[in-house]
Amino acid sequence: MTGVLAGVASAGVLLQFYLSLRLASANGQSLAFGVVSYFGYFTILTNLLVCLALALPLLARASAGGRLFERPSVAAGVATSIAFVGLAYHLLLRHIWAPQGLQWLADVLLHYAVPASYVLYWWFALPKGALRWTDPLVWSAYPGVYLAYALARGAAIGSYPYPFIDVSAIGYGQAMINALGLLIAYIGLGLVVVSLGKVKARYNKE
C-alpha cells in the first residue's frame, strides 16, 4: 500500500513538473523559469513532502529521515498539510480555471487523489502515538515559512503563486489578512487531526 501511494504521489509531481516546463517553453520562457514557477506552489512542495514521508520509511527506514517521518507527530503534520492542500484548492481555487487533458489529470492527482489517499493511509496504517494539542502550532511553521518564501519570491520575480497572496494585485495588507485567515484555518484543521488521532489511539487500546 505504501509503495502504491508513493507511486501515485510521485506520478503527480513528475507530471506537473513536465507540464510546467512545457508551459514555460510554449510561452517563450526559459526552462529555469519553469522550474522556479513549479517550486513556487504550496501544493507541489506538500506533495513532495508526502513523497518523502512515504518513500524514506519504506526505502531507508534506519536513516534519520526514515525515523523522522515515522514519528506520529510528523506523520500527523504531513496529513494536516496535504489535507489543507485539498480543502483549500476545492474551496478557494478550483473555480478560477478549467484544466484539460494532462493538466486535468495532474490537478486531480495533486489536489484530490493524493490528499485523500494519504489521509486515509494515516488513519488506517500509521501509529497515532501521543499527539499533543500544541502540535498544530508546531506544524504551522511550515505554511508560515512557505508564506515568507512565496512573498520573497514574488517580490523578486514579480509573480505570486496564489491570488490571495498576490501583493501586486491586492497589496501587502490584504495579503497578510488572507494569510492569517488561512493560517488559522490550518491550525484548526490540525486540531481536528489531533482529535481524530487521539480517538483512534484510544480505540486501538480498547
Q: What is the pLDDT of residue 43?
A: 98
19-47 tens-digit pLDDT: 999 999 999 999 998 999 999 999 999 99
Q: What is the pLDDT of residue 205?
A: 65
Q: Is the pLDDT of residue 206 over 80?
A: no
Which whole number is the average pLDDT over 59-86? 93
- Closest by CA to 47, choosing from 17, 80, 10, is 10
The values of phi and psi at residue 71, to 5°, are -65, 130
Average pLDDT value over all residues in the chain: 94
**Buried b / exposed e across 143-177, counting CB within 10 Å, b at 16+?**
beebbeebbebbeeeeebbbebbbbeeeeeeebee
Q: pTM of the full predicted structure?
A: 0.94
Which whole number is the average pLDDT over 161-169? 95
